[in-house]
Amino acid sequence: MAESKIIGCSKLIAQRGLSIAFAESATAGWLCSEFALTEESGKVLKGGIACYDASLKVSLLGVPQELIDKYTPESMEVTREMACRLKTIIDSDIQVTVTGLTTPGGSETPEKPVGTMFVFALICGREASFRQVFSGSCEEVIHQTIEATAELLIAALSKT
């Protein structure tokens, strides 16, 4: 069963007659899967791309390698570019992208520790995003990211 905030978010997207697509790195498709578990999935969900490895951000989404080299694969700049590129691949009203550090071995630093997650959404062309540091296991970080993303989308959609 989908997380309760995702269920509410999916209902809100359906009420607005909108569609949603995802490009996920750190969450590896889990966010998209949560939307697939809702009653409204057939009305709202267009699809998603799991691009866990940075090379797929370049080859599938067309994110410039120079941007990744300058800011790291796990950064708001790359996450934003992923959303802009996703719109050209999957036609949808809402594009949501996620990068981050759920385990050691990425671009973590003292300023960007493991648990740092970046989410960027284009909602009918309007931008909404967050950078947040979560704590816990990889699974716990992903769950917290999914919940925070639903909150971000609900807040942004409530303003329309």
pLDDT digit string, tens, across residues 83-112 = 999 999 999 999 999 999 999 988 999 999
pLDDT at 160: 67
pLDDT score of 150: 97
Per-residue model confidence (pLDDT) at position 3: 84
pLDDT at residue 106 in the model? 86
Give the list of residues 6+ apart from residue 150 with CB closer than 8 angstroms, or none: 3, 5, 6, 8, 9
Instruction: Say how far apart CA 109 and CA 94 lie, in whole Å.
Output: 31
**Rounded to 10 degrees, what is the CA torsion of 38, 43, 46, 50?**
0
Cβ-contact 63, 109 below 8 angstroms = no
User: Side by side, which strands form the sheet with 45-50?
Assistant: 45-50, 20-24, 94-100, 116-123, 126-133
Q: pTM score > 0.75 for this model? A: yes
